[in-house]
Structure 1
Amino acid sequence: MRLDRYLVEQGLASSRNQAQTLIKEGHVCVDAKRVHKASFRIDHAEVSVDAIRMYVSRSAMKLKHFLSQLPVKIEGMKVLDIGASTGGFTEVLLEYGAAHVDAVDVGSAQLHEHLRRHKRVTSIEQTDIRQFTCNTPYDLIVSDVSFISVLKIFEAIERLSRQWIIILFKPQFEVGRNVKRDAYGVISDAKAVAKAMQRFEDACMLQGWQLIAKEEAHITGKEGNREYCYCYRKH
């Protein structure tokens, strides 16, 4: 049996995706030896998993690491999570004391069940943020979108936000399809990435947003692309 499947069947991981993340990041041992391949075949072996706090998606750790360095007090905030997916960002925001999180995504049935049932979360599915409206602006907007340039949702972010904006910038969706990538989809053209980041930063400046902090996410995207966290405050 594959190691990732074994972890799920034994209740050591809630999903294959979570199991694969645990394995890839070196948190799983087979017969006291760390294994990094989800396809590793096991039979009658002793398997153990490090006692760590696991979130519904690995993106949660990107946001949590970034928040620890920011002057933003999440407690009591009304928050909009754009591109919520399974809810990694939403989960961290709740942990930091957000009063309520509206989790918006164009997909459906993605938000983890325990977040879907949470009294401080509203799941808003099959919704393009560009068509989304609200009665009052959000104290904080977080964005983690894929397969679309974040520049295309700037008008919505500006319209819906009151003060704080946190964006996970993903070069793989910003540089264009013709930029050189390796067999795994990792961008190999550093100049194209730098150009895309500058274009993004210039667009934020034109919106009048004040850059508070910027850092490379401490873990890469699924394919291995470097991603970047930005925090802005509206004037």
Structure 2
Amino acid sequence: MKMKKQRLDILLVERGLIETREKAKRAIMAGLVFSNENRLDKPGEKVNEDIPLMIKGNALPYVSRGGLKLEKALKVFNVNIQDKILLDIGASTGGFTDCALQNGAKMSYALDVGYNQLAWKLRQDERVIVMERTNFRYVTPADLAGEMPNFATIDVSFISLSLIFPVLKTLLVPDSDIIALIKPQFEAGKEQVGKKGIVRDKKVHEQVIDKIIGLALELGYNTENISYSPITGGEGNIEFLIHLKWCGESQEKGNNLIPVGIKQLVEEAHMELSKGASH
């Protein structure tokens, strides 16, 4: 049987080794791509689909940078996900799912409205249930093929968390941890978002965080802790990580247990990541 071939730049993206074809081409032409000891330096070269590939100097332990966000959240929020069932909302390439599995999660529902984004490594993993072309707002417990989730992550774009939180309650067992990425560019009013979709104003960041905390409490989630993402979003936006807990329907309103001041947190985030978004 003849082995299927694929362009090298496309194969790197499909394997989740690099995010875009443009970045793949640059890495190939820079001489960073190897198969065993052989350097591959032609982006358009057709190679066997199952050849071993590695990018030299690529120390990223996950299939995408997204894994670094969850890695920080698990450490800072001291969340243990050993044997947990993950609902990964906005899975994309699968950085959160990859990080969770490497930290002991039992399985992951990798859910995304997009198609064919999840890294090949995770598609092949029997612990991952792929839920592509799925609009989370319409998901019901019946759509989840295995055990009910007791841990959730949220990394969505072009939609507010206000449309995610109400549905999420119906899909989690009580005492579930949630780690959500707060993206000011998708939460602030249009007049507060600057050129290229970047939010630079610290006050807007504070307002957005306060809004999300208030919303979570109103829906019955405990707000446990908050931090900032260790990396900026695609356009350089500073983003924030929030740790929530869903205790079940018996609790009408949530409790705010966040131990840090929001103003101070925003200041720290801007100092650390100011290159991308602060004044």
What interval of TM-score do these two structures reach, taking the shorter chain for normalisation?
A: 0.7 to 0.9
**Whole-angstrom distance in 2 between the partners of 1:181 and 1:53:** 31
Displacement, 1:212? 2.0
Output the CA distance in 1 between the equivalents of 2:193 and 2:60.
36
- SS of the residue 2:209 aligns to: helix
Match of 1:15 among 15, 18, 22: 18
Q: Secondary structure at the match of 1:138?
A: coil
Bigger Rg over Cα: 2
Question: Do the aligned partners of 1:151 and 1:200 also contact (CA within 8 Å) in 2?
Answer: yes
Cα displacement string for residues 198-225 of structure 1 (whole angstroms, at most 9, x for unaligned residues)? 1111011112222222101111111111
Give the equivalent residue in structure 2 for 1:140: 151
Which of the pair is proportionally richer in helix?
2
Alignment partners' CA distance in 2, 1:105 and 1:20:
23
Deviation for aligned residue 1:108: 1.0
Alpha-carbon contact 1:59-1:89 (below 8 Å) kept = yes
Displacement of 1:19 after TM fit? 8.1
Q: Does residue 189 of the first structure (1) align with residue 201 of the second (2)?
A: yes
- Per the alignment, residue 267 of structure 2 pairs with none
**Partner SS for 1:55:** coil
2:107 paired residue among 100, 109, 112: 100
- Select between 220-229 and 50-59 the one with higher mean Cα deviation: 50-59
Task: Give 4+ residue runs of structure 1 displaced > 6 Å after superposition.
Answer: none
Letter matched to residue 230 of structure 1: I
Post-superposition Cα deviations, 1:114-145, rounded to whole Å, max 9, x if no partner, equal: 10110100000111112112256411011101
Quick one: distance in 2 between partners of 1:146 and 1:180?
14
Amino acid at match of 1:171: P
Structure 1 unaligned runs (5+)?
1-6, 24-29, 32-47
Which residue pairs with 1:223 in the alignment? 235
Distance 1:180-1:100 versus aligned 2 partners, 3 A rule: closer
Structure 2: which amino acid aligns with 1:156? V
Task: Give the alignment partner of residue 222 of structure 2, picking from 197, 210, 214.
Answer: 210
| TM-score, normalisation: structure 1 | 0.78
Distance 2:186 2:78 in 1: 28
Contact 1:179 1:192 in 2 (8 A): yes
Query: How far apart, CA to CA, are the structure 1 residues paired with 2:95 and 2:201?
Result: 29
One-letter amino acid matched to 1:207: L
Match for residue 173 of structure 1?
Answer: 186
Per the alignment, do residues 194 and 127 of structure 1 end up closer, same or farther by CA in structure 2, a change over 3 Å counting? same
Task: Quote the Cα distance in structure 1 between the aligned partners of 2:166 and 2:208.
Answer: 18
Q: Which runs of 5+ in 2 are unaligned?
A: 1-7, 32-54, 248-279
Match of 1:69?
A: 76
Distance of 2:100 and 2:21 partners within structure 1: 19
1:156 matched to 2:167: yes
What displacement does 1:18 show?
8.9
SS of the residue corresponding to residue 15 of structure 1 reads coil
Over the aligned positions, Cα root-mean-square deviation in angstroms equals: 2.8
